[in-house]
Amino acid sequence: MRAGGSFARDWQLIKLARTWQPHDLAGAILERLVEHRNPLVMVEIGKAARALGAEEGRQFRERMPAGMDAVSVLESLFLMGGIWCEAVRGDAGALLRIKKETGTFLAGGAQQRAVAIPFLSGVIEAVAPGAQVREAGDLLEVRVQDEAR
């Protein structure tokens, strides 16, 4: 503070400093971009979300015990993130049904819905290479060859 400042001004600055909160500027920008629904922007947002999901999936898979199959890895990941997931196992692999809602896995408002499917697809591709992902209403259906990693 400079010498000779006024007590009232300094007191007001202290009150302002106490109520200041950090801002999620990137989240606010993303939300505005999503609101405009520009197709080119949405494609780029999807690419970025898919790449981040792939990074997250690779990191998660690296921390899992050796010999754990991709279906179990995905089930545990979604369970921890609060994402509803149902696995139906068969001789040829498994079919996972995953709610598109991301539970506590991703935070955010409108931008969450815009990035959820590409992000989850990136995670799935990293954990279970070759998995087939398709949208079915409010679910993602994932066909996975059930092999130990």
Largest CA distance in the chain: 81
Residue 132 included in any domain: yes
Q: What pLDDT sits at residue 147?
A: 62
Q: Looking at residue 146, what is its pLDDT?
A: 58
pTM: 0.73
CATH number of the domain residue 134 falls in? 3.30.1380
pLDDT of 89 strictly over 60: yes
* Per-residue pLDDT, 81: 79
Q: 123 in a domain, yes or no?
A: yes
pLDDT score recorded for residue 104: 59
Please tell me which residue, 58 or 21, carries the higher pLDDT value: 58
- Does residue 121 sit within a domain? yes
CA distance 131 to 44: 23
Full residue range of the structural domain in which residue 114 is found = 23-144
pLDDT, position 96 = 92
Residue 113: pLDDT band (50, 70, 90) is low
Instruction: Provide the number of structural domains found in the chain.
Output: 1
Mean pLDDT of 96-101: 83
Domain-embedded: residue 55 = yes
Share of the chain above pLDDT 90, in %: 30
Taking the C-alpha atoms of residue 140 and residue 142, their distance in angstroms, rounded to an integer, is 6
Q: Is residue 14 part of a domain?
A: no
- Return the pLDDT at 42: 92
Confidence of residue 9 (pLDDT cuts 50, 70, 90): confident
Is 13 a member of any domain?
no
**Residue 17 lies inside a defined structural domain of this protein:** no
Retrieve residue 25's tokens: 């500027």
- What percent of the chain lies above the pLDDT cut of 70? 86
Per-residue pLDDT tens digits for 33-78 = 888 889 999 999 999 999 999 999 999 888 888 888 888 888 888 8
Tokens of 126: 């990293």
pLDDT of residue 149: 43
- Token pair 């506590």 is found at 104
- Tell me whether residue 29 is in a domain: yes
Residue of 123, 122, 111 whose CA lies nearest to 77: 123
